[in-house]
């Protein structure tokens, strides 16, 4: 291995724990995601209410979930119910919820 390759590998290795630390607490996210199941019906991805298509969020990609919730929070995504939900969330809440939902195996 060249010196540059070793340096790149060392930098990558050092950055991995920092990336993992940015994620939230799955246990806290499970509690915070409770209201999500009313529409998204996380167990089995079925919903009793509302009667229209609701996207599957259990097992979804962490970064996608953070991006979607953050966009609803800022009003960049338009959906009145999701906007109301996301506006009440802190950045930590969003990371916790995304960590929990992305940890669910379909």
* Model pLDDT for residues 45-56, shown as the tens digit of each residue: 555 555 667 788
Cis peptide before 70 (omega within 30 of 0): no
Distance CA 7, CA 97 (A): 35
- 82 Cβ contact list (under 8 Å, min separation 6): 72
Domains within the chain, CATH numbers bracketed: 24-103 (1.10.760.10)
Residues in the chain, pLDDT under 70: 1-21, 42-52
Q: The whole model's pTM is what?
A: 0.73
The confidence score (pLDDT) of residue 53 equals: 74
Q: Are 88 and 12 within 8 A, CB to CB?
A: no
């Amino acid at each position: 291995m060249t010196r540059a390759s070793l340096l790149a590998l060392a930098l990558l290795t050092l950055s991995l724990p920092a990336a993992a630390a940015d994620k939230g607490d799955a246990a806290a996210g499970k509690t915070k995601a409770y209201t999500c199941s009313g529409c998204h019906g996380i167990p089995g991805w079925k919903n009793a209410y509302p009667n229209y298509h609701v996207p599957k969020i259990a097992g979804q990609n962490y970064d996608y979930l953070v991006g979607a919730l953050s966009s609803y929070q800022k009003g960049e995504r338009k959906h009145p119910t999701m906007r109301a939900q996301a506006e009440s969330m802190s950045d930590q809440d969003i990371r916790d919820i995304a960590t929990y939902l992305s940890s669910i195996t379909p």
